[in-house]
Amino acid sequence: MYISDKNKQLNTYDAIVIGSGISGGWAAMELCKKGLKTLLLERGRDVKHIIDYPTANLNPWDFKAGMNNTLKDRETDPIHSGAYSPADKHFYVSDAEHPYVQEKPFNWYRGYQVGGRSLTWGRQCYRWSDLDFQANHQDGYGIDWPIRYKDLEQWYSYAESFIGVSGNCENLAQLPDGKFLTPMELNCIEKHLGDSIRKHDEHRLLTIARVANLTRGWDNRGPCQNRNLCTRGCPFGGYFSSNSSTIPAAMATGNLTLRPFSIVTELLFDEQKQKAKGVRVIDTLTNEVLEFYAKIVFVNASTIATAGLLLNSVSSRFPDGFGNGSGQLGHNLMDHHSSAGAYGIHESYTDQYYKGRRPCGFLIPRYRNLQQDKSLNFKRGYNIQGHGERQEWMDKAQSIEGFGEEFKAQLTTPGPWSIWMAGWGECLPYFDNKVSLDNFQKDKWDQPLIKIDFAFRDNEHKMMSDIQQTSAEMFEKAGFKNIETFNYNKPGGSTIHEMGTARMGHDPKTSVLNKFNQMHEAKNVFITDGSCMTSSACQNPSLTYMALTARASQFAYEQLKKGEL
């Protein structure tokens, strides 16, 4: 394709960022604040903060089918209808329009718009510790991380100070404390369970979730209104998203060019300079093919899409995918499992209730394998996440018979307190859990479909059994009744914590990226989304992506100033 010198000059920037979700928004902000003219490419539509949140203030009865997905939704979106509701459906892609190949069942939930899944994420923010960064090295699964907690500590603080995280400091080695806003409050039944847990095991505790929901005004945003309607987009800016925070901050510098409707199909490699020179893009409105050029490229399309993009970027130097000399690109895909747990009812505290809709639950931090317990039949660990509430009329409607005034009184009287909780567990990095391309099946832009081959293994299933057992035991010791354990057996992808596929490491022969998220084989390419992760730990990962992105952006800028890139 011929590109005139004039068009090439117009299409040249200091930096290109691919993807506008949590990590892409951070990369754009950091690079723009450092004075770099930055092009932010998003394959989906534009979503402007407040303006483009059409359901943010609607009531349940304002929706034609209430809060229920229709049969048509389930037929046309068999994957995504399991994640969305009528209130946030517009922030998820259509299965029919964006197909992929499942070698085994895998739920790949996506949001193709400016802001990506930062509009719908769970907002829980937990630091990793050296228990996590050292795990691969200590037990031999995967390769050693090239960084430790001390390398990220200041960047965790930097990210928390910008986004605003509410939570409690608990002085736990396995879950380092951070810079927190005032925490949200546990309710009486959660406090009861927490007191019981601490009484029976000093190594366990229950604390309020650490979330990027603001308990006071922060950086011209918030506070959180306790509506718990976060996935609709928050007009108050009560939680962190690219749309409410990083993209406006990048725009304010005057250095950002935002280009939605732009599918990046490949990275362009300069054979002479042995680095990336830019990207090729399809404009989804015009189907025009364009090229953009930059000194550095940040790839933040999200784990699976990033792997697909790099695998599709072939050249004589990289016949098997951009930067894939190690053969690791696309492999080692991970996702947390969150299927197993327990439920119980407590008969006390009938004189107490709660106010508002708190947008988070509680956390029981990891308590298994903190010292590699040889009595356990699995490696690594899990945390427990859950919430307590009083049963409402919807919970009782099917079990109560009658009609009239007495029936209504029964329905409107709050039921007993209950708690649901489940384990968020680590998935080991298995080489053959992978992403690849199907060169026979193409999408409507003539790009190969992505194939996902993923399954949880014996270690994860044994961990799930332990989650059920210990959850039930904690309920029993706290006096709960009608305790039921469960395992929903959800397929991979369901926790929406995809990680791996372009991992960090010391050795270019076994990894794609170095300790600064810099590609071993193309020094001006950086990857800071979930694909960079070398293991998964059990904490919600987004805060770690933010910290890694801020750190890599600083390194890239310094290298650029030195003329190294």
pLDDT, tens only, 61-117: 999 989 999 999 999 999 999 999 999 999 999 999 999 999 999 999 999 999 999
Q: List all residues 6 or more positions away from 558 whose beta carbon is below 8 Å from its beta carbon.
A: none
The pTM for the full model equals 0.96
Range of the domain at 406: 167-220+337-425+457-487
DSSP, res 113: B
What single-letter amino acid sits at 58? Answer: L
Give CA separation, 417 vs 62, 89, 351, 392, 482, in Å: 30, 31, 11, 10, 12
H helix or E strand, kind and range, residue 17: strand 12-18
**Residues forming a β-bridge with 17:** 40, 298
Q: Residue 387 and residue 406: Cα distance in Å, rounded?
A: 30
Residue 140 tokens read as: 């031999």
Q: Residue 262 and residue 278: Cα distance in Å, rounded?
A: 14
Q: Residue 445 and residue 53: Cα distance in Å, rounded?
A: 28
Q: Of 499, 530, 527, 498, which Cα lies nearest the Cα of 513?
A: 527
Q: Residue 334 and residue 537: Cα distance in Å, rounded?
A: 10
Q: Residue 546 and residue 548: Cα distance in Å, rounded?
A: 6
**Do the domain assignments include residue 365?**
yes
pLDDT of residue 513: 98
pLDDT of residue 7: 66
Q: Residue 110 and residue 355: Cα distance in Å, rounded?
A: 33
Dihedrals phi, psi of 154, to nearest 5 degrees: -65, -30
**Do the domain assignments include residue 505?**
no
pLDDT in tens, 142-192: 999 999 999 999 999 999 999 999 999 999 999 999 999 999 999 999 999
Instruction: Please count the structural domains in the chain.
Output: 1
Say if CB 123 and CB 230 are below 8 A apart: yes
For the range 135-142, what are the long-range contacts, defined as Cβ-Cβ under 8 Å and sequence gap of 24 or more? 135/380, 135/535, 135/537, 136/429, 136/534, 136/535, 138/372, 139/372, 139/379, 139/380, 141/379, 141/428, 141/429, 141/535, 142/332, 142/428, 142/429, 142/503, 142/534, 142/535
Give CA separation, 455 vs 170, 429, 459, 489, in Å: 34, 11, 11, 11
Q: Residue 534 and residue 378: Cα distance in Å, rounded?
A: 19
Residue that has been written with the tokens 């303006």 in this structure: 51
**Residues forming a β-bridge with 45:** 113
**Do the domain assignments include residue 88?**
no
Q: Residue 298 and residue 223: Cα distance in Å, rounded?
A: 32
**Do the domain assignments include residue 499?**
no
Q: Residue 426 and residue 534: Cα distance in Å, rounded?
A: 12
- The low-confidence residues of the chain, meaning pLDDT below 50, are none
Q: Residue 542 and residue 529: Cα distance in Å, rounded?
A: 9
**Do the domain assignments include residue 204?**
yes
Rg (CA), the chain: 24
Q: Helix crossing, 149-163 with 542-561: angle to 10°?
A: 100
* Strand runs labelled E in 56-178: 101-102
Say if CB 464 and CB 507 are below 8 A apart: no
Q: Burial, 497: exposed, middle or buried (Cβ in 10 Å; 0-12, 13-18, 19+)?
A: buried
Give CA separation, 400 vs 260, 353, 390, 407, in Å: 52, 22, 16, 8
H helix or E strand, kind and range, residue 194: helix 188-200
What is the DSSP secondary-structure string of 325-373? TTS-TT-S-B--B--EEEEEEE---TT----S--S--EEE---SSTT--
Say if CB 235 and CB 53 are below 8 A apart: yes
**Do the domain assignments include residue 543?**
no
**Residues forming a β-bridge with 208:** 362
Instruction: For residue 449, give the 3-state DSSP assignment.
Output: strand
Q: Residue 354 and residue 392: Cα distance in Å, rounded?
A: 12
Residue that has been written with the tokens 């609709």 in this structure: 232
Dihedrals phi, psi of 537, to nearest 5 degrees: 45, -155
Q: List all residues 6 or more positions away from 11 whose beta carbon is below 8 Å from its beta carbon.
A: 3, 278, 290, 291, 292, 293
**Do the domain assignments include residue 390?**
yes
